[in-house]
Structure 1
Amino acid sequence: MTRIDDTFARLRAEGRKAFVAYMMGGDPDEATSLEVMRGLPGAGVDIIELGLPFTDPMADGPTIQRAGQRALDGGMTMDKVLGMVRAFRETDTTTPIVLMGYYNPIYARGVDRFLADASAAGIDGLIIVDLPPEEDSELCLPAQKAGLNFIRLATPTTDDKRLPTVLQNTSGFVYYVSITGITGAAAAEAGDVAPEVARIKAQTDLPVIVGFGITTPDAAQAIASVADGCVVGSAIVKLIGEGKPVAEVLDFVAGLAEGAHKG
């Protein structure tokens, strides 16, 4: 059982849906980013999704692309992102952290070294959006052997023929992408999402969390009501990019979390 598994077990026992918050590691700077990260659990966040800055983030829209570039311009590196996680773990040993990013920086570091460093820092799971199931031997299987959940994305274009392959080695939860396209590009609609979540849940016992296109507490509640929870990223990152005070960012997150938990 990982922290992710424990969190979903607790939420089920409480009759609540999960709220997952995404933030970019090191945006707008390392100190501010860590302050936001440390404040997320108190704002109602059940799982933290921490972005690993990368120069070519193909799945991300302009808001998160700019966040990654700000972090890179500020000197953020993988070592510093893992350092943030270690610092977070000094005061929080229970909130799950999922590292989200792309395979290139991991490949450059070396898979074995990366997994050892990530585990030691306190990472619980990985979302690596550019590694399809056909490449599971590259990272997915070694990650699971190292005790990390490997979380896969399913999308509106993942048909019934493809879905079993996507689910095969997924663990922790399934991340359903509610729209066709990049992050922050359109609004998620519960009516469209509900049958897709049901289709996925017919083939797996894993929780299904919905992300992309959720920007308000009402939307978080609506989407969470038809899934096991929801993820918000771009709307949070946008406030950080606008230079809003950390307290204001966390107040916004708290509203989203309240909405999701009502779902």
Structure 2
Amino acid sequence: PVIQEAARRSLAPSTTLRNLLSWLQGVPSDERPPVYLMTYFNLFLSIGLDQFVTLAQRAGGIRGAVIPDLSFEDAGYVRRIFHAGGMSLIPFVAPTTSDGRMKRIVARSEDFIYLVSLLGTTGKELSETGTVSRLVSRIRLLTDSPVCVGFGIQSPDVASKVLGVADGVIVGSRLVREETDPDRWQSLLAAFCDVARSVPSFSTAGV
């Protein structure tokens, strides 16, 4: 429901991937962190993958994309097009991922691996980090790529605990839920950023 409502608000003023990329082009590159776009595959298809890469290159600073509804098995063609444009396609690993499939996925990892912390829909809170810690350990036996954890990061406190076992956190629905209150949104974002900066290996945030 949180993401569905966010999509409704976004579509109301006719937001598109094309005009988002156009807007990014107007933001000075030294004033924004590396950008990873996260959205559904049909938006890339609507403008064409090659055209997307061209527009992303023109915008500058876009490192790659996270496409939740694109399976690893179907991603080869997309990955090749992204690579040609200097971008990465971020892979997912979940609690249900088998050892064999995990090995194939991480072999294709680049900038980082998106670790889904729990089963279910976005908006649930991660109650403990034991499962995440075990999953991170399994992944690190196979690759040196950073592991960033998403799903369940509903507070700066949870983010801090997860950063004790992983390389990064991905915060989505928690910030989306507060976007209708700009002051509260800004305060919450600042709190998450403070947690990220407390990590010794912290260098730069991604959006």
Q: State whether TM-score is above 0.5.
A: yes
> Aligned-pair distance for 1:188?
4.8
SS at match of 2:77: coil
What is the aligned partner in structure 1 of residue 156 from structure 2? 217
Report the residue type matching 2:154 in the other structure. Answer: T
2:107 is aligned, of 165, 168, 172, to 168
What is the aligned partner in structure 2 of residue 109 from structure 1? 47
1:159 is aligned, of 80, 98, 105, to 98
1:120 is aligned, of 58, 62, 69, to 58
Contact 1:152 1:174 in 2 (8 A): yes
SS at match of 2:99: coil
What TM-score, normalized by structure 1, do the two folds share?
A: 0.71
Contact 1:209 1:231 in 2 (8 A): yes
1:262 to 2:182 alignment: no
Greater than 4 Å deviation, 4+ residue runs: none
> Aligned-pair distance for 1:137?
3.0
Gaps of 5+ in 2: 200-207
Mapping 1:176-255, distance limit 5 Å? 176-240=115-179, 243-245=180-182, 247-255=183-191
For 2:76 and 2:113, the matched residues in 1 are separated by 19
> Aligned-pair distance for 1:101?
1.0
> Aligned-pair distance for 1:236?
0.7
> Aligned-pair distance for 1:88?
2.5
Contact 1:103 1:128 in 2 (8 A): yes
Report the residue type matching 1:70 in the other structure. Answer: R
Contact 1:154 1:163 in 2 (8 A): yes
Contact 1:173 1:208 in 2 (8 A): yes
> Aligned-pair distance for 1:184?
0.9
Report the residue type matching 1:118 in the other structure. Answer: A
Aligned-residue Cα RMSD (Å) equals: 1.6
* Identity, % of aligned positions: 34
Cα-to-partner distance string for 1:115-146 (whole Å, 9 max, x where unaligned): 11112212111111122222233311210121
What is the aligned partner in structure 2 of residue 86 from structure 1? 25
For 1:90 and 1:260, the matched residues in 2 are separated by 21
For 1:194 and 1:134, the matched residues in 2 are separated by 26
> Aligned-pair distance for 1:91?
5.2
For 1:89 and 1:165, the matched residues in 2 are separated by 38
For 1:197 and 1:220, the matched residues in 2 are separated by 15
Q: Which has the higher contact order (CA 8 A, sep 6+)?
A: 1
Contact 1:174 1:207 in 2 (8 A): yes
Report the residue type matching 1:260 in the other structure. Answer: A
1:77 to 2:16 alignment: yes
For 1:128 and 1:161, the matched residues in 2 are separated by 22
Cα-to-partner distance string for 1:61-105 (whole Å, 9 max, x where unaligned): x11121011101221111211123212235526x10000111112
